[in-house]
């Protein structure tokens, strides 16, 4: 079997905040190998952009271990020992693997030749780990200080770019087209679009992610659920205060969006069993656009049901009043109304988009009558969060609370939060500036549930009146749309 010299390289920060590139390390390694092991083939294992101080998965490093364990490695070189593995336990594991593979030495430029099983190696690894801990602590302390000052984190989020303000303090400035995309995406989420559709639409408009990557459903979720875009500073998962940068969307909108996107949550009940609460509109499984109470009978007001009916041109969707449905007064539906489905659906969508072109209608929609209620619920939710933090602080004090007191209090808060979130979900979302052109263009690509939700934002009911005798074609005069007033 051919055995190789393994050059293990990885990007790592230097003291001057620059990085020592992996290609530079590779050059040094090749020079070293050419001199010490002339003629032995070289295999490079280079993890660019990944720090061994974190528990990040290092694919190239894992590949190196595979080669090592299958006996393909004769010699190992790295620029320094810490570049191979900083963490104690992992270093000892690797040392054992190298030993087992018959590689007794690690060649380095900076630490000389390290005998892998030597105590020296172990102690060096411990020292390295200690350095890492100190570095991390320094980093954390600085983060904490920065966070308290409302300075932005070092990462570059979608929507913003790094900058310095007039006083030379680090801040974020808006990237206008990205900020606009965030506002747009928030509105789309509130109008019921799926993340995949939003991502597709943004890609179509030529947008790229914060670091130039392709926008995916996941990236849309991540920038929409980020608190940074509401202008607040988050540290270790908690809001620590206002940031020194401008918000892209306001807090109520962000709440509504995050609520809409929130995953089903697992909740432990008082009897100890768990169940899932879903805070998000679940797919209804409906197969027709106007069922579920949108289309109603013009004679008895019962919701129409949809079936497939054999018509002149074959099997077609058909909406009809049925005794299986109930009138508002509880009586069975009269069963005296029926209408062909596809022309009806097309007509309703058509009317909606025509309506959306009228400025007066859009103004009426934009008038938000639910702001006060939404604010009250948002405040109450923030209050629950505050109480939860206080409770956690109290729990941390030995003897302040018994286990059962703590659990009871926590359960109480969870129930309160659930109730508030349900209530908030009932408040119509603060939708302004409906992007009519965008919705129209995206329409064919929307799922049925998304279409239904969009219609429901604007339409209360679609009342189907009696057919005029003798008229065989689809009659638009039978369709009366009751537009939602918000």
Two tokens, residue 317: 């969707």
CB of 335 to Zn ion, least distance (A): 6
Q: What is the C-alpha separation between 309 and 259, in angstroms, rounded?
A: 40
Altogether, the residues listed in the chain come to a count of 486
CB of 442 to Zn ion, least distance (A): 35
DSSP string, 390-459: HHHHHHHSTTSS-HHHHHHHHHHHHHHHHHHHHHHHHSPP---S--HHHHHHHGGGS-HHHHHHHHHHHE
Total residues contacting Zn ion (rule CB under 5 A)?
7
CB of 347 to Zn ion, least distance (A): 20
Contact pick of 53, 114, 297, 464 for Zn ion (by CB under 5 A): 297
Nearest CA to 356 out of 428, 456, 437, 442 is that of: 437
Contact pick of 231, 333, 429, 430 for Zn ion (by CB under 5 A): 333
Q: Does residue 296 interact with Zn ion by CB under 5 A?
A: no
Two tokens, residue 436: 């009519």
| Residues with Cβ within 8 Å of residue 150, at least 6 apart in sequence | 233, 241, 242, 243, 244
DSSP string, 134-166: HHHHHHHHHHHHHHHTTPPPSS--TTEEEEE-T
CB of 332 to Zn ion, least distance (A): 9
Residue with Cβ nearer Zn ion (305 or 486): 305
Residue with Cβ nearer Zn ion (252 or 303): 303
Q: Does residue 321 interact with Zn ion by CB under 5 A?
A: yes
Q: Does residue 339 interact with Zn ion by CB under 5 A?
A: no
Q: List the end-to-end C-alpha distance of the chain, in Å, as a whole number.
A: 76
Nearest-CB residue for Zn ion: 297
CB of 471 to Zn ion, least distance (A): 19
Residue with Cβ nearer Zn ion (78 or 302): 302
Residue with Cβ nearer Zn ion (334 or 409): 334
Beta bridge partners of 108: 78
How distant is the alpha carbon of residue 307 from its chain centre?
A: 38
Q: Does residue 299 interact with Zn ion by CB under 5 A?
A: yes
User: Are 101 and 117 contacting, i.e. CB atoms less than 8 angstroms apart?
Assistant: no
Q: Does residue 334 interact with Zn ion by CB under 5 A?
A: yes
CB of 321 to Zn ion, least distance (A): 3
Stretch that binds Zn ion, among 74-82, 84-92, 301-309, 457-465 (CB under 5 A): 301-309
Q: Does residue 300 interact with Zn ion by CB under 5 A?
A: yes
Nearest CA to 233 out of 225, 242, 245, 223 is that of: 242
CA distances from 142 to 147, 235, 294 (A): 8, 12, 56
Stretch that binds Zn ion, among 291-299, 421-429, 440-448, 459-467 (CB under 5 A): 291-299
CB of 352 to Zn ion, least distance (A): 24
Q: What is the C-alpha separation between 86 and 381, in angstroms, rounded?
A: 43
Residue with Cβ nearer Zn ion (152 or 303): 303
Stretch that binds Zn ion, among 134-142, 330-338, 347-355, 460-468 (CB under 5 A): 330-338
Q: Does residue 303 interact with Zn ion by CB under 5 A?
A: no
CB of 465 to Zn ion, least distance (A): 11
Q: Which residues bind to Zn ion, rule: CB under 5 A?
A: 297, 299-300, 302, 321, 333-334
């Amino acid at each position: 079997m051919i055995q190789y010299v393994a050059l293990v390289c990885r990007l790592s920060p230097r003291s001057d905040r620059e990085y020592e590139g992996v290609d530079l390390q590779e050059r040094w390694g090749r020079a070293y190998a050419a001199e010490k092991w002339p003629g032995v083939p070289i295999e490079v294992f280079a993890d660019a952009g990944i720090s061994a101080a974190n528990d990040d998965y290092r694919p190239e490093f894992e590949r190196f271990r595979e080669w090592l364990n299958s006996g393909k490695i004769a010699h190992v070189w790295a620029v320094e020992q810490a570049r191979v593995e900083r963490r104690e336990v992992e270093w000892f594991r690797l040392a054992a693997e190298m030993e087992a593979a018959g590689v007794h030495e690690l060649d380095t430029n900076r630490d000389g030749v390290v005998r892998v099983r030597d105590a020296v190696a172990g102690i060096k690894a411990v020292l390295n780990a200690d350095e890492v801990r100190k570095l991390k602590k320094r980093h954390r302390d600085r983060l904490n200080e920065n966070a308290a000052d409302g300075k932005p984190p070092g990462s570059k989020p979608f929507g913003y770019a790094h900058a310095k303000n007039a006083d030379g303090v680090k801040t974020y400035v808006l990237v206008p087209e990205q900020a606009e995309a965030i506002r747009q995406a928030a509105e789309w989420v509130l109008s019921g679009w799926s993340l995949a559709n939003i991502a597709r639409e943004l890609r179509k408009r030529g947008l790229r992610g914060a670091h130039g990557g392709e926008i995916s459903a996941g990236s849309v979720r991540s920038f929409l659920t980020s608190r940074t875009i509401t202008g607040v500073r988050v540290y270790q998962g908690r809001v620590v205060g206002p940031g020194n940068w401008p918000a892209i969307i306001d807090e109520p909108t962000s709440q509504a969006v995050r609520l809409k996107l929130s995953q089903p949550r697992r909740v432990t009940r008082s009897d100890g069993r768990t169940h899932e609460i879903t805070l998000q509109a679940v797919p209804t499984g409906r197969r027709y656009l106007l069922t579920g109470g949108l289309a109603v009978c013009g004679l008895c007001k019962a919701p129409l049901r949809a079936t497939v009916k054999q018509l002149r041109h074959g099997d077609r969707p058909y909406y009809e009043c049925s005794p299986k449905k109930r009138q508002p007064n509880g009586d069975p539906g009269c069963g005296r109304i029926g209408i062909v489905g596809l022309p009806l659906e097309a007509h309703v969508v058509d009317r909606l988009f025509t309506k959306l072109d009228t400025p007066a209608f859009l103004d009426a929609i934009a008038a938000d009558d639910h702001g006060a209620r939404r604010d009250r619920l948002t405040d109450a939710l923030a209050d629950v969060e505050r109480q939860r933090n206080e409770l956690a602080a109290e729990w941390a004090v030995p003897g302040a609370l018994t286990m059962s007191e703590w659990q009871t209090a926590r359960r109480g808060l969870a129930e309160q939060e659930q109730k508030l979130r349900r209530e908030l979900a009932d408040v119509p979302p603060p939708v302004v500036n409906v992007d009519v052109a965008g919705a129209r263009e995206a329409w064919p690509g929307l799922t049925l549930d998304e279409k239904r939700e969009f219609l429901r934002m604007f339409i209360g009911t679609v009342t189907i009146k009696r057919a005029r005798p003798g008229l065989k074609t689809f009659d638009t005069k039978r369709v009366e749309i009751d537009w939602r007033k918000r």
